[in-house]
Amino acid sequence: MKLQQFLGIFLSLIGLALADVASEFKEAKIQPDILDSVPNEKIEVKYGKNTIDLGTELTPTQTQEIPEIHYKHVGGLLYTLIMTDPDVPTRGYNREFRHWIVGNIPEENVAKGEILAEYVGPAPPKDSGKHRYVFLIYKQNQGAITFDERRLSNRDGRFRGRFSTKKFVEKYNLEGPIAGNFMKVEYDDNVPSYHKRLGL
């Protein structure tokens, strides 16, 4: 196969991959529910052996530990990670619940970032259907940000509701989302214990 043909096929496959991320976000109504624009790149999200792939269905029990996160990044730049549930209390209300926010992340080293909201796993209420849990990466073009936000522990559920990704992004002039992914999670029998831990 000639180099030119190979490059053509390679670039076509890349184009399809980028289109898949954008189209899946649109099909899942993440845009316009919480986003004005969709990401073109996919965040790699892994819960142990379970890898999230644009709508993968998992249980609350499978998603209580902090996932492994990887994404394309530029050396020397800082990023912000947001994980949000736009289906609180049920889908259609578009009231977001912030599950995890980390800012000032050097490249893709999430553990070195500034935690604004500690990770709490999905815990959708009984009979509320499948919730979308959305992971987003934003670029901080202006460098380090002084975030004016209440810091939330993993036992504090009182101030996580009524979040707006759009308003947060606008407030801190973030670029993106440059990458994203999402999963769907429905109630299981362990959810009441998670709610108790969060004070809900």
pLDDT tens-digit profile of 78-106? 999 999 999 987 776 668 999 999 999 99
Identify whether 115 is part of a domain: yes
| DSSP state for residue 130 in the 8-state scheme | P
Q: What is the pLDDT of residue 123?
A: 95
Identify whether 91 is part of a domain: yes
CA dist., res. 126 & res. 175, Å (int):
36
Q: What is the pLDDT of residue 3?
A: 47
Nearest alpha-carbon partner for 170 in 41, 36, 79, 76: 36
Identify whether 71 is part of a domain: yes
Identify whether 7 is part of a domain: no
Q: What is the pLDDT of residue 75?
A: 94
- For the entire predicted model, the pTM comes to 0.89
**Count of the separate structural domains present in the chain:** 1
Q: What is the pLDDT of residue 92?
A: 66
Identify whether 16 is part of a domain: no
Identify whether 170 is part of a domain: yes
Q: What is the CATH number of the domain that holds 83?
A: 3.90.280.10
Long-range CB contacts (< 8 A, 24+ apart) of 84-87? Answer: 84/34, 84/133, 84/134, 84/136, 84/163, 84/165, 85/122, 85/124, 85/131, 85/132, 85/133, 85/134, 86/30, 86/33, 86/34, 86/132, 86/134, 87/124, 87/128, 87/129, 87/131, 87/132
Identify whether 9 is part of a domain: no
Positions in the chain whose pLDDT score sits under 70: 1-19, 92-94
Domain that holds residue 189: 21-198
Identify whether 187 is part of a domain: yes
Q: What is the pLDDT of residue 21?
A: 93
CA distance to 13, 22, 146, per residue, from 33 (Å): 29, 14, 27
